[in-house]
Amino acid sequence: MYRILFANRPSSWGGGAEARLLEISTGLAAEGYTPLLVTSSEAELASRFRAAGIESHVFPPSYFLRREGYFSYYIAAPRAIRSLLRSRTIDLVHTNDSRSIEPFVRAAEPLGIPVVSHVTDMDGAWFSRRNLKFLNRTAAVVGVNEAVGKFALRHGVKSERLRVIYRGIDAKKFGAAPESLARTREAHGLSSSEIAVGMFARLHPRKGQEDLIRAAAHPMLANLPLRYFLAGEDWEADRSYERTLLDLALELGVGDRFALLGFREDAPTLMSACDVTAAPFRREAFGGAVAESMFAGTPVIGYRDGGIPEIVRDGREGLLVEPGDIGGLAAAIQRVATDPVLRHELASAALKRSKEFTFERQLTAIKALYHEILAPGGVNVGR
């Protein structure tokens, strides 16, 4: 079976793109493929891959960053990457971040090894003039949904290179027993009459935690038994953004309603224990937390932006409002919080629709793409 080298410069663990990469790698390994990882430091990503039995290699950060120096980027990096590709008889390279595209295409192309680039974000950095030149020399550019695919085309990716493969969710992580959910709510001090609003995302201005705090302070929600739980690590290494959010909540008089939980391994159980998931994300490529909440049977309130409307249909699996509409966000929370019948209907519909975003579907599509590229007469590299 094929040997696949995954390249992912970020070496930390945020639970998003990196978690999906590990799931894909272990899924492929279980079916006879041999995945390997290359990343940029001995941090949690490499540790988790090794713990899963996946061979992992660490290259210097300068191999991924052109500004770090000519020799490192243009001479040392291609040599080291090609040496690894040869020694491990790699069949295909699969990049998972914008910084890995150029160095791995440069190294793999002369060896005739095809590259697949997974685009996981709606960020222009993926499609800089320089990156675009290398993206269009790959065998395929994979968008995680139609919104990302259209974004890629608008920014110059050739249509014949583009594939859309929806990100998949591992359903086995969900379905916690009722007594487990009751214990989770009790552990967080929730009474049976309180409505728990969860938000599962890295603490970052684009994720919209500030918008949720402002919505929570809206007068229409003042007398409702609402509690808010923000699960996700701070994008700032010194955790200064967490302090910004806490200060804002205190300033607006809702500090006692908010709990910041940090990154949580038990996020699936927390999602199931919440009554509503808030997702006021801007330019969100796919919204893994949105799809996961649907697997948890939890209705979603979010922004009609990015890829979210592809997952949640307004009024069916959740409620969507225009980005930045704080009053609309508050009204949606009020509507779901005060109508248990609506909550139940949205939750049931969300659980049903979640079956369209399974990990098995994603893995099957990725394997089919690999076979399309690597089969005799497959996609020509660099054309």
Answering whether pTM is above 0.85, one says yes
* Of the candidates 184, 112, 127, the residue with the CA atom closest to the CA atom of residue 378: 112
pLDDT higher than threshold 60 for residue 123: yes
Asked whether residue 76 is domain-assigned, the answer is yes
* Same structural domain, 236 and 148: no
- What's the pLDDT score for residue 380? 52
How many residues belong to the chain? 383
Q: Are 59 and 80 in contact (CB under 8 A)?
A: yes
* Same structural domain, 98 and 29: yes
pLDDT tens readout for residues 216-267: 999 999 999 999 999 998 888 788 999 999 999 999 999 999 999 998 889 9
Asked whether residue 381 is domain-assigned, the answer is no
What are the two backbone dihedrals, phi and then psi, of residue 266, each rounded to the nearest 5 degrees?
A: -95, 30
* Same structural domain, 139 and 200: no
* Same structural domain, 313 and 221: yes
- DSSP H helical ranges for the chain: 17-30, 44-51, 70, 77-87, 101-108, 129-135, 146-154, 178-187, 209-216, 240-251, 267-273, 288-295, 308-311, 326-338, 340-353, 359-374
* Same structural domain, 249 and 116: no
Largest CA distance in the chain: 66
Asked whether residue 380 is domain-assigned, the answer is no
164: CATH? 3.40.50.2000
* Same structural domain, 45 and 161: yes
pLDDT higher than threshold 80 for residue 14: no
pLDDT tens readout for residues 293-343: 999 999 999 999 999 999 999 999 999 999 999 999 999 999 999 999 999
pLDDT-derived band at 213, boundaries 50, 70, 90 = very high
* Same structural domain, 162 and 182: no
Which residue range(s) make up the domain with 105?
A: 3-168+359-374
- What's the pLDDT score for residue 383? 40
* Same structural domain, 227 and 100: no
Asked whether residue 379 is domain-assigned, the answer is no
* Same structural domain, 118 and 160: yes
* Same structural domain, 222 and 162: no
* Same structural domain, 64 and 200: no
pLDDT higher than threshold 50 for residue 49: yes
Considering its fold, how many domains does the chain have in total?
2
Asked whether residue 195 is domain-assigned, the answer is yes
pLDDT higher than threshold 50 for residue 381: no
pLDDT tens readout for residues 348-358: 999 999 999 99
* Same structural domain, 231 and 298: yes
- What's the pLDDT score for residue 287? 85
Asked whether residue 184 is domain-assigned, the answer is yes
